[in-house]
Amino acid sequence: MPERKTYFAEVLLPLPVQSSFTYRLPLELNESVKIGMRVVVPFGKKKLLSGIVLSLTETVPSLPDVKYVIGVLDDVPVVNKLQLGLWRWISDYYICHLGEVMQAALPSALKLSSESKISLHGDFVPDIDMLSDSEYLVTEALMVKETITVNDVAKIVGYKKVMPLINSMIDKHLIVMVEELTPKFKARLENFVRLSDTYDNEIAMQELMNSLSKRAYKQLELLLAFFALHGSVDVEVRVPDLLKKASTAQSVLKAMLDKGIFVSLRKRVSRLKDADASCEVSSISLTPLQQKAFDEIHQGFNDDKPVLLHGVTSSGKTEIYIKIIDECLRQGRQVLYLLPEIALTEHIINRLKKYFGNKVGVYHSRYNENERVEIWHQVLDFESKHDSKYQIVIGSRSAVFLPFSNIGVVIVDEEHDVSFKQTDPAPRYSARDIAIVLAKFHHAKVLLGSATPSFESYYNAMIDKYRLVSLLQRYGGIEMPEILVDDMREEKRRKTVMASFGSMLVSAMQDAVAKDKQVILFRNRRGFSPRVECTVCGYVPQCVNCDVSLTYHKQQNIMKCHYCGYVMDVPTVCPSCHSSNFVMKGLGTEKIEEDLSSVLPDISVARLDLDTTRSKNGSHNILEKFRDNETKVLVGTQMVTKGLDFDNVKLVGVIDADSMLSYPDFRAFERAFQLMEQVCGRAGRKGDRGKMIIQTYQPTHPVILDLLNHDFKSFFMKQMPVRKQFNYPPFSRLVLLKLKYHKMDVLNNASDILAERMRHISGCEVIGPEYPVVPRIKNMFIKQMLIKIERNANLLQIKESIKQAVREIAEDPSGKLKSVNIVVDVDPA
């Protein structure tokens, strides 16, 4: 008889705690549990949670009481060892807990936690005279349904605070509390029909058709539609497809089911849409410049370096990406294609599906829980089932967490974009940087692409850490758009400003529309007006939870805080001086959309910003109408700057460039150049040369002067001495420490203590602590400090010192500081 072994599992739970948890495996699970599987474990007194098995050992832990694993949720691991290695790297680099990485990485439907429910006590005996009205209602419900939730109890008794009632009933032995773990993922089931075995031969089928032709012609049509769909007797057909093909009613099918002609069954189907390839990659013919760039990219791959493709807008980068993807697929490996914005994916998905069909999958946060789990499992199956479906994954930043087993190439398009950076909650990661590390785990190639690379990436290319490949001419010899600067000082002096627009932009828009061309207007602020101000005393409505003014949204006629979501009605009387005279100050996309009606009457206008794209298909619907030329003018925030490809756009207008140039951040000039050059690239992509007009009060600003020549390299070289002088990236690394607490005096004390400890770490420069531009959000006061780390400093040691300093605040022996929330943001955007 083989020796019975006892195993202990280290289980990772999606919690912000420092370590994993040790559980004992029941003997019957010894052979079932593998690293990367999900297991159900008890947590605390009553709670049940699902966690990931990190390791298995026979070594008995030095713990007084080790709880047992309750069950296994998977037949195969849902997380592979490469992923676990990446999770540990993320935890170490971004100074966060491994459980927080798990929380961010796994789709929510794969993370289960029990819900408290109530059921009748085993000794309960119905006795109406002994029960109060509320107790009677609850017990009556439990006699109908075995368990109900606390929310159900509140609905049954008609009031919200039901815990005293529940506790009283528990004390009386009327009910008991139980914990139930309910699976979140639900497979989609659909109705199918197949032909009965009775008619699987030609004679029986002929007799059936003769019979139906005489007495039930509608049924015969349905039978013929069944064959028309698949041409075989031994297939299963979706009921909706069959009824649509036959143009008949459900009652006809029911009659055939009752006769035993068809057999009904329920089948699991995918929520994900299929597509077939319609073009061969070999049909793409690269221009000499594209071919040169393609060859140089391979030289960088051969040198085992990440490659930075600096290609101007509309230079044909996507064709190069498709060629590289095709090479990777021929090697039987996977492809990860990262994009910064969900709105971008539709255009790229369609282009890639044209060449690769069902091999292309999409993954982003707008998908629902069940769709994300299906994609997760599809990617997971690549290695075990050799299934090429979803061999290419296009996604936003969360796609880096998918369970890839054999990535061949990682492409990060628009690599400069700030949307790749996760800000809240932890881990506060950069998907671009994680993608490079992920590629190392898989021994894969990395291709970063942008018309306006981030300074960090371009600097890495300058020092030969990356391979730089340039593609500085547009595809087909099309010229870069002409850039004109409209001096708003002169416009105001001449009194030629119309609503939000100078005369130069108005004239250009009217000309473009008259020629049946389209226009994009860019303003990086949503809403109607950033603030409403009393003209008598200067009162501005403020958020009650945050130290920030409320933004006016005209369509909803409300004042709204963009930080906490607080909403109030638009004031009719000033609470300070009782005046009724208010004026709108500043402008957002909503106001620009309205102002267009005065300069371009009867022209269709659409707006692309967070307010109009909250629904799953919001951005898709807006962009499709613009693509079909139903919309003539598209107004938007930075969403309109990213990778959109419309043939008919000939004019781009930048409204209020000064707000970007004056933003209080060391990256302000870099971001302003990137946004304006990117939105400029939406114009003149086909046919005649495009045009961009910049409205500004600083027409000779250095950023604008470099922008006029589309000269990114010149702009970069001018900015580097300034960055070096003040020791900002790429010449240093940054860590932002942000402290939050509801009491200002406690916050000040904690920030001073933490800053003092930071100053004792060698290789660091501490700036602050100071209050940020918005010093209070959601009733929490904020102080922050910026840690500059020298490039040659020991990064691991410094991060360990930061962890220790933060831990000491959290473990403050006096107890006064331990509730202060400290946010650590490595490489802040």
Q: What is the pLDDT of residue 233?
A: 67
Cβ–Cβ under 8 Å, residues 603 and 548: no
Rounded to the nearest angstrom, the gap between the alpha carbon of residue 104 and the centroid of all alpha carbons in its chain is 11
| Residue 123 phi, psi dihedral angles, 5° rounding | -100, 10
Q: Residue range 487-516: average pLDDT?
A: 93
pLDDT for the residue numbered 329: 95
Question: CA 223, 226, 231, 237 torsion: positive or negative?
Answer: negative
The DSSP call for residue 457 is H
- For the residues 19-26, what does the mean pLDDT come to? 93
pTM for this prediction: 0.85
Give the pLDDT confidence score for residue 364 in this predicted structure: 80
Highest average pLDDT, of 3-12, 344-353, 530-539, 733-742, comes from 733-742
3-state SS of 386-422? CCCCCCEEEECHHHHHCCCCCEEEEEEECCCCHHHEC
Q: For residues 72 and 29, is the Cβ–Cβ distance under 8 A?
A: yes
Q: Which whole number is the average pLDDT over 625-633?
A: 92
pLDDT above 70: residue 499: yes
Residue 465: CB atoms within 10 A of its CB come to: 12
Grade residue 275 by pLDDT with cuts at 50, 70 and 90: low
Share of the chain above pLDDT 70, in %: 98
> What is the model's pLDDT at position 602?
86
Digit-coded pLDDT (tens) for 444-480: 999 999 999 999 999 999 999 999 999 999 988 889 9
Model confidence at 397, pLDDT cuts 50, 70, 90, reads very high
Percent of the chain exceeding pLDDT 90 equals 63
* Closest CA relative to residue 347, chosen from 680, 675, 643, 677: 643
Q: What is the pLDDT of residues 361-373, one digit of tens each?
A: 889 877 888 888 9
Q: What is the DSSP string of 750-818?
A: HHHHHHHHHHTSTTEEEEEEE--SS-EETTEEEEEEEEEEETTS-HHHHHHHHHHHHHHHHT-TTSSST
Look at residue 1 and tell me whether its pLDDT is greater than 50: no
Nearest to 751 by CA among 764, 761, 760, 741: 741
Residue 185's pLDDT is what? Answer: 74
d(CA 5, CA 673): 64
Phi (first) and psi of residue 55, to 5 degrees: -160, 160
Confidence check: pLDDT of 79 > 90 = yes
Residue 278 has pLDDT above 80, yes or no: no
How confident is the prediction for the chain on average, in pLDDT? 90
Q: Is 479 helix (H, G, I), strand (E, B) or coil?
A: coil
Q: Mean pLDDT lowest for which of 73-82, 108-117, 746-755?
A: 108-117
Q: What pLDDT, in 10s, does the model give residues 810-829?
A: 888 888 888 999 999 999 98
Structure confidence by residue, pLDDT tens digits, 298-352 = 999 999 999 999 999 989 999 999 999 999 999 999 999 999 876 656 778 888 9
Of the pLDDT bands very low, low, confident and very high (cuts 50, 70, 90), residue 671 is very high
Tally Cβ neighbours within 10 Å of residue 476.
Answer: 12
- CB within 8 A of 451, min separation 6: which ones? 310, 311, 312, 313, 315, 677, 678, 681, 712
Residue 48 confidence (pLDDT) above 90: no
